[in-house]
Structure 1
Amino acid sequence: MIGKAITGKGFAGCISYCLEDKKMEMDKNQPLMKNRAEILLFNKCFGNKKELVQQFNEVRRLNPKQSKPVFHFTLSMAPGEHLSRPQLIQVAGDCAKEFGFADNQFLAVEHKDTQHQHIHIVANRIGYSGKTNVSDSNSYKRMAEFCRKMEQKFKLQQVLSPRRFLSKDQQLLPRNDQRRDQIKAQLQQILRSSKTMDSFLQKVKAQGFEVIKGRGISFIDNSGVKIKGSNMGLSLSTIEKLLQKNQTQYLTRDREKGNKIGLETRLANAWRLTVPFSPYKRSPQESAFISAFIQSVKQVAENTADLMADLYKVQYPNPEDYAISEVEREYYRNIRKKKKKRGYRL
């Protein structure tokens, strides 16, 4: 059994929520869910919603200094467990005795709009004497102890209390919280696709979560359940580190992708410029550029050859002086002889 105790300021909203039919959250267009609430017990009050609110407020006015006269309890069974109507009434009566409002106004209601069975109890903390005779001190711890008693009394599934109310040895025991695990899986999936904190928060809110961010971070789901990020291994510092890691990975991936594309482009351009029978169809501009490039290379080669020949002529006036073999020397001598006959020297 899981219990929750909340103090509030107004009876009208709380009683209306417990007694009225409502539209299902999954489909807001469908008609109201009828017979959602079944009243289990009246204690020193009676009537419909309007009459109950009036009666609770009349007693409340006996102590106008008390700003939070409402005590709202929720008791939920584990999935698959079900108590009979007399047993639920007994649970409500035991809760009234445990928290000290058995002599005050209260009503117990069973809701049938969820798969798991649960009841709501609305109690007035102010008694007919005008005093606030119901304390809300340590209400979470007292509720945890009360749930453990009901589990033993009705032989229900044993559930661990919140960690802060357990001994050091019990705090080390593993806990199985399907709702928390489901929320954690959703948040981890959103984290994988987020680069910055702003984008992460926007995607989380788009999934229907409310985010409370301060020194730490907490999440509230559609059912109003608040879970700290640190309790799921997703503290604010952890989320920031994961986002920074994602951003680094995205940048590295983009850089590698850009380098690969740039290399492929350069190789393709080199292939198209150097290979004479390129499989790519060249444009007229590319063909003109290639022709001009080849002509310029030929011109540079010819100029270089002429320059080298001039240098050799300066250093070696007689070509046979730098001939490699005797055949070459003989060849140059014959040329010299012919040119002497014609009247000029080489």
Structure 2
Amino acid sequence: MIGKGKSISHTKASISYGWNQEKEAEIIYKKHLMGETPKEIAQEFKIIQDQNCRCKNNTLSFVLSPTIEDGKHLTKEQFNELTQKFLQKMKLENRQAIAFVHRDKQHIHIHLYVNRIGFDGKAYNDSYIGKRSQHTAGQVAKEMGLTTVREVQQEKINELKQIRQQIKNIHQKVLQEHRPQNFDHYIHHMKREGVKVIPSINKQNKLQGFRFEYQGYNLKGSEVHRSMSGGKLALELSKNTTQSLTLKQGKAIVLFGRLIELSTNLALKIAKHAIKKTLKKGMDIGF
């Protein structure tokens, strides 16, 4: 579960957003409040807030977002419990507060508004409110058996690791089975295996490498594996032909039927490899 928090001044507008029926809003928590509209609730907040004229951002706004899967299974009573636990741990349980669940999107979430000014006229300390909200949301998630942010992050890391390995396996399969001799051939065979290879063009409009799109992920070659950077990919393709990749005008290649200028770094790597290959060939025949 993700928790976000901040101090705001626009109380009525924020509560109106929380109450928005287009968001399929449902009140799941209400304390020390009698009002039935955003205007009435804001006025009740203001009665207490007027005790502390020095505090300008005098309302606390929180968003509590369980994961999509957790949100599907939480009842209204559980959303209420979640909100109460969060308020208790933030030491805000004795203040005016109202919370809504928004169900208009796949990611169900809570909007919670709390009066920053207590009945004693003192303002709640909002230092590091964002970090504290996230930490507290994690504690509540653990207590209620919900997925924490750290667990979500770890799942994403594990999924990315699998995707990277799958792309690398397809890359190696294409090199071994099809032995492509240029970038066009390589891109064609990768596409047939389900991986879209996209030229990466820098600000100078020069090719500096490739990105790999697979199952919703879009990664630089070097992010997939260091052996899949633009320069190293060029060297791999050069192994499949008696000559190195042909450079046009010393710094360009033919890609998708048109001349593409290479970045300085990529052009140098290809040129160096071509020189080494020529020298080796000369040595092999006795020059």
Query: TM-score scaled by structure 1?
Result: 0.44
Partner secondary structure for residue 176 of structure 1: helix
The aligned counterpart of 2:142 is: 152
The aligned counterpart of 2:106 is: 115
Q: What displacement does 1:191 show?
A: 9.4
Q: What displacement does 1:252 show?
A: 4.2
The 8 Å contact of residues 74 and 120 in structure 1, kept in 2 or not, is answered as yes
Alignment of 1:1-346 (within 5 A): 1-21=1-21, 33=22, 36-46=24-34, 47-81=36-70, 82-132=73-123, 134-160=124-150, 176=156, 192-193=200-201, 195=203, 252-253=251-252, 257=259
Gaps of 5+ in 1: 22-32, 163-172, 181-188, 198-232, 234-248, 259-346
CA distance 1:174–1:111, shift in 2 (3 Å): closer
How far does the alpha carbon of each residue in 1:180-212 deviate from its partner, in whole angstroms, 9 at most, with x for none? Answer: 9xxxxxxxx999356369xxxxxxxxxxxxxxx
CA distance 1:174–1:103, shift in 2 (3 Å): closer
CA distance 1:257–1:146, shift in 2 (3 Å): closer
Q: What displacement does 1:13 show?
A: 1.6
Partner secondary structure for residue 42 of structure 1: strand
Partner secondary structure for residue 119 of structure 2: coil
Partner secondary structure for residue 94 of structure 1: helix
Q: What displacement does 1:137 show?
A: 2.1
CA distance 1:177–1:9, shift in 2 (3 Å): farther
CA distance 1:191–1:62, shift in 2 (3 Å): farther
The 8 Å contact of residues 86 and 137 in structure 2, kept in 1 or not, is answered as no
Q: Output the CA distance in 2 between the equivalents of 1:191 and 1:129.
A: 63
The 8 Å contact of residues 144 and 161 in structure 1, kept in 2 or not, is answered as no
CA distance 1:15–1:190, shift in 2 (3 Å): farther
Q: Output the CA distance in 1 between the equivalents of 2:259 and 2:120.
A: 78
CA distance 1:77–1:257, shift in 2 (3 Å): closer
Q: Output the CA distance in 2 between the equivalents of 1:56 and 1:190.
A: 55
Q: What displacement does 1:160 show?
A: 1.1
Higher helix share: 1
Percent identity reads 25
Q: Output the CA distance in 2 between the equivalents of 1:176 and 1:6.
A: 27
Q: Output the CA distance in 2 between the equivalents of 1:137 and 1:190.
A: 45
Task: Supply the AA of the counterpart residue of 1:176.
Answer: K
Task: Supply the AA of the counterpart residue of 2:203.
Answer: K
Partner secondary structure for residue 95 of structure 1: helix
Gaps of 5+ in 2: 161-196, 206-222, 224-247, 261-287
Query: TM-score scaled by structure 2?
Result: 0.53
How far does the alpha carbon of each residue in 1:241-264 deviate from its partner, in whole angstroms, 9 at most, with x for none? Answer: xxxxxxxx9x94499959xxxxxx
CA distance 1:175–1:52, shift in 2 (3 Å): same
How far does the alpha carbon of each residue in 1:157-198 deviate from its partner, in whole angstroms, 9 at most, with x for none? Answer: 243189xxxxxxxxxx956279x9xxxxxxxx999356369x
CA distance 1:50–1:99, shift in 2 (3 Å): same
Ranked by relative contact order (alpha carbons within 8 Å, sequence separation 6 or more), the top structure is 2
Task: Supply the AA of the counterpart residue of 1:129.
Answer: D
The 8 Å contact of residues 59 and 127 in structure 1, kept in 2 or not, is answered as yes
How far does the alpha carbon of each residue in 1:267-294 deviate from its partner, in whole angstroms, 9 at most, with x for none? Answer: xxxxxxxxxxxxxxxxxxxxxxxxxxxx
Partner secondary structure for residue 64 of structure 2: strand
Q: Output the CA distance in 2 between the equivalents of 1:161 and 1:8.
A: 30
Q: Output the CA distance in 2 between the equivalents of 1:193 and 1:63.
A: 56
Q: Output the CA distance in 2 between the equivalents of 1:39 and 1:191.
A: 50
Higher strand share: 2
CA distance 1:65–1:190, shift in 2 (3 Å): farther
